[in-house]
Amino acid sequence: MSTRYVRWCLGAAVALVAVGGQIEETETHTPIASRWNYNEHLFPIFRDNCGSCHRDGGIAPMSLVSYRSAYPWAQSIREEVLGLRMPPWKAEDGFGDFRNGHALPAHEMDMILEWSSGGYPQGPRSQSPAAPGEPEEWPLGPPALELRMAEPFTLDWSTNEVVRYFVLPTGTTEERFVTGADVMPGAAAIVRDVAIYIDATGTARALDAEDDGPGFGEAEGRDFPATAPLALWSPGRPSVRQEDAARTLPAGADIVARVHYKKTWITEGEEFADQSRIGLYAGDESDRAVESMLLSSPERTGELTLTFSQEVETDVSALAVLPEVAIEAKDVQVVAVTPTGTRVPMLFLREPDTAWPTRYWFDTPIDLPAGSTIEVNAILHPGADFTPGRSLFGADPSAPIRLVVDYAAAGALAD
pLDDT tens per residue, range 18-70: 333 333 444 445 678 889 999 999 999 999 888 888 888 888 888 899 999 99
If asked whether residues 300 and 381 sit together in one domain, one would say yes
If asked whether residues 100 and 176 sit together in one domain, one would say no
If asked whether residues 114 and 187 sit together in one domain, one would say no
Q: What is the pLDDT of residue 113?
A: 92
Cβ-in-10-Å burial (0-12, 13-18, 19+) of 357 comes to buried
- pLDDT band with cut points at 50, 70 and 90 for residue 17: very low
Q: What is the pLDDT of residue 346?
A: 96
If asked whether residues 37 and 22 sit together in one domain, one would say yes
More confident residue, 230 or 25: 230
Q: What is the pLDDT of residue 70?
A: 92
If asked whether residues 200 and 273 sit together in one domain, one would say yes
pLDDT at 103 over 50: yes
DSSP H stretches of helix in 118-250: 203-210
In a domain, 403, yes or no: yes
Using the 8-state DSSP alphabet, how is residue 258 labeled? E
Q: What is the pLDDT of residue 171?
A: 94
If asked whether residues 326 and 195 sit together in one domain, one would say no
- For helices 3-18 and 74-82, the axis angle rounded to 10 degrees is 150
Side chain identity at residue 148, one-letter code: R
191, 185 in Cβ contact below 8 A? yes
If asked whether residues 263 and 391 sit together in one domain, one would say no
pLDDT tens per residue, range 292-308: 999 999 988 778 999 99
Domain count, the chain: 3
More confident residue, 153 or 127: 153
H or E stretch at 10: helix 3-18
Domain residues for the domain of 44 are: 3-127
In a domain, 134, yes or no: no
Q: CA angle at residue 415 from 143 to 146, to 5 degrees?
A: 10
Please compute the mean of the pLDDT values over residues 187-211 and round it to a whole number: 95
If asked whether residues 398 and 334 sit together in one domain, one would say yes
If asked whether residues 222 and 294 sit together in one domain, one would say no
If asked whether residues 257 and 183 sit together in one domain, one would say yes
Q: Does the pTM exceed 0.95?
A: no
H or E stretch at 408: strand 401-409
pLDDT at 345 over 60: yes
272, 199 in Cβ contact below 8 A? no
If asked whether residues 284 and 338 sit together in one domain, one would say no
Q: What is the pLDDT of residue 254?
A: 97
In a domain, 63, yes or no: yes
- pLDDT band with cut points at 50, 70 and 90 for residue 15: very low
* CATH number of the domain that residue 196 is part of: 2.60.120.310
Q: Could you give the CA distance from residue 387 to residue 397 in angstroms, rounded to a whole number?
A: 9
If asked whether residues 365 and 321 sit together in one domain, one would say yes
Specify the 3-state DSSP secondary structure of 332.
strand
CB 200: neighbour CB atoms within 10 A?
Answer: 13
* Domain final residue pick, 258, 288, 318: 288
Side chain identity at residue 358, one-letter code: T
How far apart, in Å, are the Cα atoms of 322 and each of 203, 264, 335? 23, 26, 14
pLDDT tens per residue, range 355-404: 889 999 999 999 999 999 999 999 999 989 888 888 999 998 889 999 99
